[in-house]
Structure 1
Amino acid sequence: MSRIQVLNLQSLNQGLPAITPAFGAAISEAGAICLTDEAHEPGVTLEVEGEFSTRLQLNWQPVTEQARRCWNDEEYTTEQAAYGIAFLLILQLTNLTVIERSRKGTGFDYWLGIHDSTVKLPFQRMARLEVSGIRRGNRSQINARVKQKTEQTRASDAEGLPAYIIVVEFNRPISIISAKHNPKGTLL
């Protein structure tokens, strides 16, 4: 029997090539807020569907009253929390990592590059990442968001690079990962 793999939100505190440890800690905290507000406890199972099909265990640090006051804007908190989970999913399920924040108007949130400790500069843009969070949504709402975000990435399709669209819903919790292949039909 195989053990379920664990995603520790607090591992974001170490940072990534395009995520400072401070930002990683912040989005980790946002994730803890969203999951705790939806009555989940550390160890809850995240269902992953779409391009990948798996179940992962989510762990996080306890939420403080100070953190609750800091993250009082539900929409903003949900967006930031979704980034954190999406980054961890990309690291866990692909050979990619977050290498650069995209600029406004591109139709996606982050550039992805190869995650390989032997490569000194992993900053080659290999794929695009678009992320969205939903605090509480039914399957129809989640699927509609995936479709909306997939359409949104069209603004940068001329780049010819594949895109991952990740929608995280916190009430279930579930994450749908859609992959948009490049014109040659390949995906990393």
Structure 2
Amino acid sequence: MSQIQVLNLQSLDRGLPAITPAFGAAIAEAGAICLTEEAHKPGAALEVEGEFSTTFKLDWQPVTEQTRRCWNDEEYTTEQAAYGVAFLLILQLTNFTVIERSRKGTGFDYWLGSQDSTATLPFQRMARLEVSGIRKGNRSQINARVKQKTEQTRASDAQGLPAYIIVVEFSRPISIMSAKHNPEGTLLQ
């Protein structure tokens, strides 16, 4: 029997090509807040469904009172926390990494590129990532959000690049990871 892999939110403080260590640390804090406020403890299981079906253990740093005061806006905190979880899922389940923040109006949040440092163009835009967070929602709400975010990515479909849509719900916790294929029907991984 294989051991369940751990998604350590704190590892985001190392940064990614388009995520500074400071921003990574901040979204790790947001994730810790969402999970702690939903009565989870480090080691909680995150179920992943959709394009991938797996389970991860989540790990995070303890939440302090100062952290709670810093992240008092639930909607904003949930959105930032979802980015953190989504970035870790992309890193673990695909060959992509986050290479650039997208501009407003594109219909998605981040550009993805190859994790392979030997790739000819490792920072080439190869796929799109759209992320959404829900603090507490039922299955119908989660599925509706996946559909909404999938539709939202249509604004950039003409580029012909695949898109990942990741919705993270924190009360369960669960993540639905959907993949929208390019016109040729293939998904780069």
The answer, yes or no, to whether TM exceeds 0.5 is yes
SS in 2 for 1:168: strand
State the secondary structure of the residue aligned to 2:61.
Answer: coil
| Structure 1 residues without counterparts, runs of 5 or longer | none
| Residues paired across the two proteins, number | 188
User: Which whole-Å CA distance do the structure 1 matches of 2:44 and 2:112 have between them?
Assistant: 27
User: SS where residue 168 of structure 2 aligns?
Assistant: strand
Per-residue deviation, 1:83: 0.1
Q: Secondary structure at the match of 2:178?
A: strand
- Secondary structure, counterpart of 1:97 in structure 2: strand
2:108 maps to which residue? 108
Report the more deviating stretch, 162-171 or 114-123: 114-123
> For residue 155 of structure 1, what is the aligned residue in structure 2?
155
Partner of 1:47: 47
**Structure 1 counterpart of 2:76, which letter?**
Y
* Structure 1: distance between partners of 2:69 and 2:121: 39
* Number of the residue aligned with 2:71: 71
Question: Which position in structure 2 is the counterpart of 1:4?
Answer: 4
Q: Which residue of 1 aligns with 2:26?
A: 26
AA aligned opposite 1:16:
L
SS of structure 2 residue aligned to 1:178: strand
Displacement of 1:122 in angstroms is 1.9
Give me the whole-angstrom Cα distance separating, in 2, the residues matched to 1:117 and 1:91. 14
Q: How does 1:113-152 map to 2 (within 5 A)?
A: 113-119=113-119, 122-152=122-152
1:16 corresponds to: 16
Give the distance between the partners of 1:185 and 1:118, measured in 2 at CA.
26
Identity, % of aligned positions = 87
Structure 1 distance, partners of 2:37, 2:64, is 12
Equivalent-residue separation in structure 1 for 2:9 and 2:117 (angstroms): 21
Aligned-pair CA distance for 1:118? 2.7
1:159 partner letter = Q
Shift, 1:116, TM fit: 1.2
Quote the offset at 1:96 in angstroms: 0.2
Is the partner of 2:182 in helix, strand or coil? coil
- Structure 2: stretches of 5+ with no match in the other structure: none
How far, CA to CA, are the matches of 1:120 and 1:62 in structure 2?
A: 41
Relative to the length of structure 1, the TM-score reads 0.99
Q: Which residue of 2 aligns with 1:91?
A: 91
CA distance in 1 between counterparts of 2:161 and 2:119 reads 20
C-alpha distance in 2, partners of 1:154/1:7? Answer: 30
Aligned to 2:180: 180
TM-score (norm 2): 0.98
How many Å apart are 1:89 and its aligned residue?
0.1
Choose 30-39 or 113-122, whichever is displaced more.
Answer: 113-122
